[in-house]
Structure 1
C-alpha cells in the first residue's frame, strides 16, 4: 500500500491485510504532542490500547503522548465503539486533522488499534492519509503453544508472545500442559522441569484478557501421560506399567502414555487435573486433549476392549470427562484424531464438545473436515507452524498447510481456526522461529477466502514482522529450510536406536524403518544397534552423498537471511543471534549425518579420525551457544536432555569402531 511524501514514494503493509483501503495519496505528520482518548470504551478500563499506541509513538518520535478516557478530552487519536460495524470489525481513518479508530465491539477496538500500531511502526511519524476497513471470516483465531515437551518458557517470554498475538489479532491462546504444571500432590511428575506455578497462570490469564485474548486451559487427561505414568505413584493406572522403568526416550514419549480407563482410579485422576486447573482461568472452555491414545485396549484393558470395542471405550471415557466439565459450567474441547480414525463413534460423542481437527499435511484435503461437518459436530480446523523437530522452520510446509486448511474450514463452517506450535523430541525449535507461521496464520484466519499470493505474503511478513525493507528475508529462510540433509529428529532417532544398555531399541527401529520406507537402502532387518544405524543412514544415502551441495546452498541462504536482518528496521540483534545459531546447528547436523554415513560404511568413502574429532568439538561448542539462547526465553526445564543428544553425537564421532 503506497503513499507519497513529496516526490518520495513510501509503502506500508498490514497483517492481516485489510478488506478495504481508500488512499488519498497524501501523507500527514503526527503533531509533536497529543492525546489518545478512549471514548466510553468500557472493555478497556486501563486504557491499554491507548497506552500501546503511545508506546509506539514514543518509539518513533521520542515523545510520550498522553492517554485519557471519556467524552470531555480533546484528542488527536480517538478510539470508540461503533456497533454498526459488526462483531470484531474496525474502521481506521487517518486524516490531516486527526485519527479515528472505531470498532464494532471490544475486539474491533482492539483490532483497529493494532492495525494503527503497525502503521506507526513502519511509517511514523509521517503517516498515510487513508481509510481502512477490516472484518475477520473466522470469529476464533487461536494459537496453540506446547510448553510441556522440553521447554517451559519464562514468564517474560510468554508475555512477549501474547503481545505478538495481540498485534496480529489472534483472540485465543492455549498452552499445552502434561507434567509441566505444579499440580498439587503430583510433585513426582513435575519435579526438576521448572514447571509453571498456579500464580503464573493467573497472572498470564489477566495479561491475556487485557489484550483481548482468551487463555484456554489445555491438559492431557487421557493420552500423552508419559511422564505421569512413569512415576511410582501413578504407573499402575497405565496400560503398560511394566514399561515405566524403561530409559527415558524422546521418541517413546510420543508413543506410550495412555490411561487404563477400566481402572476405577483413572477417572478420579483425570477429573482431579481438570478441577484443580480450571479455576485459574476466566475461560469457560477446557481442552481435555484425548489425542493419540495409542495404547488404549492393548494392555491392561485388552480384555474389556475385546468385549466392548476400543471405539466404544474411547467414546464412553471422553463423554464422562465432557459431562464432568459440563457439570462445572465448562464447555469441553478435545482433539478429533481418534474419532476420525474410528468414525462409528461420532454419534456417541457429546454434541456440546468442540472437536479440534488437527490436520498437518501440506497437501491437506477436505475429507476429515467434511466428515465432522456431515456428522453435525462443531470443530476448529487446526494447522501447524511446522517448526517441530527442526532448528529452522519448514516454511513451505507451513504455508501450504495453513492456507489450504483455512479455506477448507470456511467451506465447511468451522467455528474456529487454530495454528499449533509443537515441541516434539525436546522442543529443540526456538519458539522465535515460529513468527513466520504465526503471521501466515494471522492472515489465513482473517481472510482465507481471499488468499494473498505466497510471494506477496512473504514480502509482507519480511517487512512488517522483521523490519526488512527489501522484503526478501522470509524467502531466504525458506531457502535455508530446504537444505536439511540430516535433521534433529534423525539425530534423536540415531542416538535412541541404542536402548541405553547397548541393545537395539526395536520400537525406535520400527519407526526409523517406517520413516524410510521406499528408500532402496532401508531394506532388511537389524540385529544390533550398529546394523540399525547403518540401515538408517543407507536409507538417506542420496541426501548424505550430496551433502556438500546442500551445505553450499544453506550457507548462501544463511548469508541472505543475515544480510536482510542486518539492514532491518529496529533492533533485531536478539533474533539475529537465534537465527545464526539455528543456521550453524543445521550445518553441523548435516555434517554429522554425512560423517556417520561414511564411518559406518552406509555410504562409500572414508573419513579421518582427526576430521571426526574436529566435528565433535564444533558440536560441543555449538551446544553451549545453543544453551545460552535457550535460557534467554526458556527455563532450564529439559535442556539437559537436548544437550545429551548433542554430546552423544560428539561421542559417536570419536568412537574408533562404530560397530562396538
Structure 2
C-alpha cells in the first residue's frame, strides 16, 4: 500500500474494513461549505473503483459508515484518518483537511479495493503553499478539459496553488494584433477555471508578464514603441530570440502604464489573494532605449524602481504581489526597498542546484517561494532523474529556510514540444517533498508513482520512461538552434554511434511500453500512444541529426528522402496527440520546423 505524499504518521493495525455497498458517507452536522462536493467526489470515485456508490447522508453515522467531521483542535490542513473494523472516521481542523483525507482514502481504495487494511493516519503539510506553475504561452494553450484535469490531479496529491504563465495567450482587450493568429484563453475561461479550482481548495493565482518576456507583444506595430531594443521588432520570429529579447523600455512613461493596464484587466478575474507580475530575465534592460538612463542611475536601480511601482499598484488593488527573483538575487539587499508584502519567487532548475540564492534571499529578509522544475522544456520526454534531483534539493532548501511556498514549474520553451502529461512524475515529486520533509529514494518513489498514478502492477512504468529521456542525441534545443542559427555543436564524430545506440534503446522501450499495456489502468492506456509518438520523434530526430552531422553519417539520397516522408507521417500522429489536450495555439510553429527539416532532407548531398 502506497500513499503520496507519504503521511507524517501512519500506523498499521490488525484487521480489515469491508466497504460494504450498503455503507453511507455520513457528514457531521457541523460541517458546511464545500463538504457535499467533497463527499460527492469520494462517492463518484468509489463507484468508479468498486462499481457501487455509497449514499451520502448528514448527521449520525452507523457501524460500517464513512464519517466525515470537524475537530477544532486540529490544524486547518491537518487530518486524522482512522480505519477500523467498525468504520472509517475522518476528521480535520477544516474542510481543507477533510479534502486531503478523502484524497488519501481514494488512493487506498484504488489499491486495496473494498477490503481496506486497518490503520491510523495523522497528517499535515510541512510547507504552507504547494503550487504548480504551468506555461500556457510558449507553444501550448490547453483545452479547458485538460486544465480541469490538471486541477484534479493537483488536488489528488494535496497541492493548493496553480499559476498559468501568460505573456500573449490571454485575450486582452484592445490587443487583437497580439492574439489574432492564436487561440487564447478568454475571461470566461479564467472565471470557469477559478471557480473549479476553488472548489478543490486550489488558489488559481494570476500570473502575467509585465516587464520582460513580452516578445510577441513588443513585436506588434501597436506596442513596439515600448520595446527596449527597437531592432528586435523588425526581425523574423525566432524561438531563441523569444527567450532573450522581450523587455519594456522603462524610459518610456507609456511602458509602466501598459503594464498597469495588463494587471488591471487581468486581476478581477481571480479570487486569489496574490498576483504574480513575473519581471524575470530582463536581459535588454539598459542596453537600448534606456541606455542613457541606465548610465545615470544604473541598471539595478531601473529594475528596482519599475518592479516597486508595479508591486505598489498590485497592493493598492488589494492583492499580494509576487515576482521572479533571478534579477534581484544579484543585489538582494534591495529586497528591503520593496513593500513588505512582496513574495520573491526563487527559481533554479539544475540537478545539482546550489543553495546560495535561497540562503542569500533568506539572509536579506525576503519572503520567498522556492521554485524547482519538472525538466520538460526542449525535450520530447521529461528528464525525470534530473527533475528528481532538482526538486528534492529545492524542496529541502524550502524546508531549511522556512520558505512560504514551493512552486514547481513546467515551462514550454521552444514550442512546448513535450506532452503536458509527461510532467506528472515531476509534479508528484514536488507535491510529495513540499508536503513531507522526508524524501523517498528515486527508485522507491518512482515505483509508488507507477502504482498510484498509472495503476501499473509491475511498478516499473516511471523507471522505464526515466531511462529513455536522456536518449535524445539531436534534442529539440539542437533541432531549433540548427534551423535558426546553423548551430552544429551536436555534430561530432560520435554523433552517428550515439544515435544508433540510443535508437536501439528507444526501440526497446517501445516494445516494453506495448508489453506493459495490460498492467496499467484502462483509463491510463491512452497515454501510451503519446509516449510512443514521442519516442518515435526522438528516434527520427536522432537519425536526422546524424544525417546532417558534417556528412559523417553516410546515408544514400533515397534513404534521406525516405526519412523526410517518415518525419511527415510522424508529424501527422504528433498533431493528433497534441489536439487531445491543447488548442491549436502554436502548433503551426512546430510544423514550420518539421517541414523545414523534411525539405532539408530531400536536398542534402549524398
Same fold (TM over 0.5): yes
Q: Does 1:467 align with 2:415?
A: no
2:507 maps to 1:555: yes
**Which consecutive unaligned segments of at least 5 residues does structure 1 have?**
1-11, 498-531
CA contact 1:477–1:558 (8 Å) conserved in 2: no
* Shift of residue 405, structure 1, vs aligned partner: 0.8
Report the equivalent of 2:464.
476
Q: 2:160 aligns with which of 159, 167, 171?
A: 171
Matching residue within 401, 407, 425 for 2:396:
407
1:623 paired to 2:571: yes
Structure 1 segment 22-37 matched on structure 2, within 5 A? 22-37=11-26
Q: Distance in 2 between matches of 1:131 and 1:553?
A: 44
Root-mean-square deviation over aligned CA pairs: 1.7
Q: What is the match of residue 528 of structure 1?
A: none
**How far apart, CA to CA, are the structure 1 residues paired with 2:235 and 2:526?**
39
In the alignment, which of 299, 310, 319 is matched to residue 308 of structure 2? Answer: 319
Match of 1:8 in 2: none
> Quick check: 1:189 aligned with 2:178?
yes
1:473/1:560 contact within 8 Å kept = no
Pairwise CA distance, 1:392 = 0.7
Aligned partners of 2:430, 2:30: CA distance in 1, in Å? 28
Long gaps (5+) in structure 2:
none
Query: How many equivalent residue pairs?
Result: 606
Q: Is the 8 A contact 2:21 2:53 kept in 1?
A: no
**1:585 pairs with 2:574:** no
Specify which of 53, 60, 83 is matched with residue 49 of structure 2: 60
Distance 1:334 1:643, change over 3 A: same
> Could you tell me the TM-score, scaled by structure 1's length?
0.89
Compute the displacement of 1:103 (Å): 1.4
Q: Where does residue 418 of structure 1 map in the other structure?
A: 407
For 1:21-170, list aligned pairs within 5 A: 21-40=10-29, 42=31, 44-45=33-34, 47-70=36-59, 76-170=65-159
Q: Deviations over 1:349-374 (max 9, x none)?
A: 33221000001111012110000000
Are 1:230 and 1:245, in contact at CA under 8 Å, matched by a contact in 2?
Answer: yes
Q: 1:411-451: per-residue Cα shift (whole Å, max 9, x none)?
A: 11111111100100011111010111011111111112x11
**Which residue in 2 is equivalent to 1:642?**
590
1:299 equivalenced with 2:288 (yes/no) = yes
Verify the 8 A CA contact 2:474 2:490 in the aligned structure 1.
Answer: no
Which is further off, 647-656 or 373-382? 647-656
**Pair 1:431 & 2:420 matched:** yes
CA distance in 2, matches of 1:307, 1:355: 27
**Aligned-residue offset at 1:582:** 1.0
Distance in 2 of aligned mates of 1:205 and 1:227:
26
Does the 8 A contact of 2:17 with 2:87 survive in 1?
Answer: no
CA distance in 1, matches of 2:178, 2:208: 14
Tell whether the 8 Å contact from 2:332 to 2:364 is kept in structure 1 after alignment: no
Q: Give the structure 2 partner of residue 566 of structure 1.
A: 518
SS state of the match for residue 482, structure 1? helix
Q: Classify 1:587/1:605 alpha carbon distance in 2 versus 1 (closer, same or farther; 3 Å).
A: closer
TM-score normalized with structure 2 length: 0.97
1:337 deviation in Å?
Answer: 0.2
Aligned-pair distance for 1:135? 1.4
Change (3 A) 1:27 1:311: same
| Residue number among 492, 511, 519 corresponding to 2:480 in the alignment | 492
Alignment partner, residue 609 of structure 1: 557
Give the distance between the partners of 2:20 and 2:167, measured in 1 at CA: 51
Q: Is the 8 A contact 2:546 2:553 kept in 1?
A: no
Indicate if the aligned counterparts of 1:107 and 1:212 stay in contact, CA closer than 8 A. Answer: yes
- Larger mean Cα displacement after TM superposition, 560-569 or 218-227: 560-569
Q: Is the 8 A contact 1:480 1:558 kept in 2?
A: no
Secondary structure at the counterpart of residue 158 of structure 2: coil
Counterpart for residue 503 of structure 1: none
Taking a change above 3 Å as real, the CA distance of residues 129 and 570 of structure 1, as seen in their structure-2 partners, is farther
State the alpha-carbon separation in 2 of the partners of residues 73 and 271 from structure 1: 57
Change (3 A) 1:572 1:22: same
Asked if 2 retains the 8 angstrom alpha-carbon contact of 1:142 and 1:172, the reply is: yes
> Are 2:254 and 1:269 equivalent residues in the alignment?
no
Give the direction of change, closer, same or farther, for the CA distance of 1:38–1:283 in structure 2 (3 Å limit): same
Which of 612-621 and 648-657 deviates more?
A: 648-657
Q: Which residue of 2 aligns with 1:522?
A: none
Question: Distance between the aligned counterparts of 1:655 and 1:72, measured in 2?
Answer: 75
Q: Is the contact made by 1:472 and 1:564 (CA closer than 8 Å) also made in structure 2? A: no
